[in-house]
Amino acid sequence: MKGVFHAKGNIIQFANKGLSTILKMPLKAIIGQSITELFGAENKAHLKKGIEQLCSDKVECKISIKVNSKLPNLEMNLMMLEGAERELLLVGSIQSLVPQEKDRHNLAACCYSTLFDNLSDSIIVYNYVREEIVSVNEALVKVLEYDTKEEMIGLSRFDFIPKKSNHAPGLNLHEYTADHKKRILKGITFNTKGIFIGKNGKEVFSNVKVIPTFYKKGEGMLILQNITNPVNDKKTRKLAENKYRNIFENSHEAIMYLDPTNKLPTICNTNAMHLFGLTTLEDVRNLRLSDFVNEKKIDGVSTHKFYDQLVQQALETGRAESSFWLHKKSGETIRAHAVLVIDKSDEEHPRVICFIRDKTALYKAQLALKEKNKELEKYITSNLQLENFAYFASHDLQAPLNTILSFTSLLQKKLANDDRKDVAEFLKFIVTSGEGMKTLIDDLLAYSLVNTTNLEVKQINLEKQLYVLLHSLDTVIKEKSAVIEVNNIPEQITVDPTKLKQVFQNLITNGIKFVKPGVEPKVVISCMEEKDHWLFSVSDNGIGISQEHQEKIFGLFKRLHSSGEYKGTGIGLAIVKKIIEQHRGTITLVSEKDKGTTFQFTIAKDLATVEHTPKVSYDKMEIGASVTAR
């Protein structure tokens, strides 16, 4: 008879019925007891010594248990094993000093079973002749994520070893493992690498020791040490290092690592050496601030102090940056921009990474842009002054011109009975020219007012306003027998009603005026609602506009016909374009000579205020500040 137990430390965790019978104690009384206390005081000293020796040397030991009135002559065998959770286990057996052969066999089987199921290493007993798993331990079941041992019994290596794997590129693992059979049948123990498939398809990469057991029958034991995580970690590190190296070497920026203690570079990329005009890493390590910065002060601070502050700022806040003039070894001076960031990959020894880029071209472009902006400001100022001058000039010219026209009219009446034809003709020329000049001044004043007055937006019934406008144009419409159609005009719209009235008035009168003799004018006004704007269309059947003139008709004083053919100043469409732009819209046209013209323009739906230029003092000609549009 034999008794078997295992313990953690000195405390028994498991015992079989054989031990209960030998000690004549119930199992409940045995489990949880100390080994040194269980066998009596007379055995305590040498049991304690044996266990201490076992813990230090990790070898098997035999201890004789002294006979007393309760116990027969016994021998204890103790062995130290590593459990499934990597804890140390004491596995022990107690037997008679004169054991039977059967008892020895049973004890060996029990010790093997305990060892097999409690090892942290995964074990497969595989028959290479029958190509099937004979047995597995609990550690393997856990690693390959099966539910029970029974699920794996009978599986062939083709079931738990993949044919191909990323861990062994280009290798057929089924052919590779076929060679193991030959070694097992020859009784050869060997080490190899193994890749195993878990129940859920997960691959486990392992170091494998293959030991022939019943090798004549083709049976061997595979002891697996899972190294999947370390291998994956190594691959991940290598991939990250390769990515880092590619970025480091191929970046357009010069990159240097600085020692935060002495502020000197330790390593750099090729672009850094090119930027400084150096050829070796040793040249870079010998760089001093005075070698590449020829400014004595930066932002009012000495260059060395500024540089130290920049590095310190990067260490404290994680980032710092500055621009400076960099003096290359070749003598060339460039405008450089440096960004310093903290590298915390080594917490105990942080480093500063310095990125430097040649910004000379950008710097020069920015300077050129500043000069252009100054020119543009002068142009804008001049343009605003011109517009304000046009307003004041046209406004103040009205008075003397009205006086001239008034007195000319009086003179005509006074000389009405004068039979001198040349006097009447001269007066007619004066009146005609004066009226033409008055029309031009009125239009110029209207154009100036568009630029120098803010939009007064409000919600109106546009359809109603259009009919009011058409009523005011009734005389012109009837004189030319014109037909005006109004389709789909929105009742509620937010606009500046006065200025929008100017737009429609100019486009309608143009459609009536610019027609061939004998043709009855027809103007069609319509509207479509879009997502964020209104799209208006004004079409006519007039003389049309040839392609080469279409781009310039919105300019000031751009007349396409002589005043004898069609009256006008060439300002009307310029006013239209300006008003549409103030309504955050655009205007285009489609036209063909002798086939009419269609003007299309948009008006934003969400109008509030738009950019305008206030009028200036006439005496001082001061330019007012612009008001930004929403």
Give per-residue pLDDT as tens, 232-247: 666 666 766 666 677 7
Q: What angle do CA 62, 63, 66 make, to 5 degrees?
A: 150
**Residue 464 confidence (pLDDT):** 92
pTM (2 decimals)?
A: 0.35
Distances (CA, A) of 500 to 309, 456, 600: 61, 11, 14
DSSP conformational letter for 66: P
Helices (H), ranges, 251-359? 270-276, 281-285, 289-292, 303-317
CA distance 600 to 589: 6
CA distance 394 to 391: 5
Q: What is the pLDDT of residues 50-73, one digit of tens each?
A: 777 777 665 567 777 765 655 566
Helices (H), ranges, 286-344? 289-292, 303-317
Tell me phi and psi for residue 493, to 5 degrees.
-150, 145
Single-letter code of the amino acid located at 496: D
Sheet architecture: strand order including 319-327: 265-268, 254-258, 351-358, 333-343, 319-327
**Residue 105 confidence (pLDDT):** 47
CA distance 287 to 276: 9
Q: Which domains does the chain have, with CATH numbers?
A: 2-118 (3.30.450.20), 122-233 (3.30.450.20), 253-358 (3.30.450.20), 455-604 (3.30.565.10)
**Residue 559 confidence (pLDDT):** 46
**Residue 77 confidence (pLDDT):** 81
CA distance 143 to 582: 75
Q: What is the end-to-end Cα distance of the chain in Å, rounded?
A: 100
Q: Which residues pair with 65 in a beta bridge?
A: 74
Q: Which residues of the chain have pLDDT under 50?
A: 98-108, 111, 557-566, 568, 609-630
CA distance 536 to 393: 34
Query: By CB neighbour count within 10 A (0-12 exposed, 13-18 middle, 19+ buried), where does 599 fall?
Result: buried
Distances (CA, A) of 124 to 136, 156, 222, 352, 360: 5, 11, 5, 52, 69
* Three-class secondary structure of residue 484 per DSSP: strand
Segment (H or E) for 511: helix 497-513
Query: By CB neighbour count within 10 A (0-12 exposed, 13-18 middle, 19+ buried), where does 194 fall?
Result: buried
**Residue 484 confidence (pLDDT):** 93
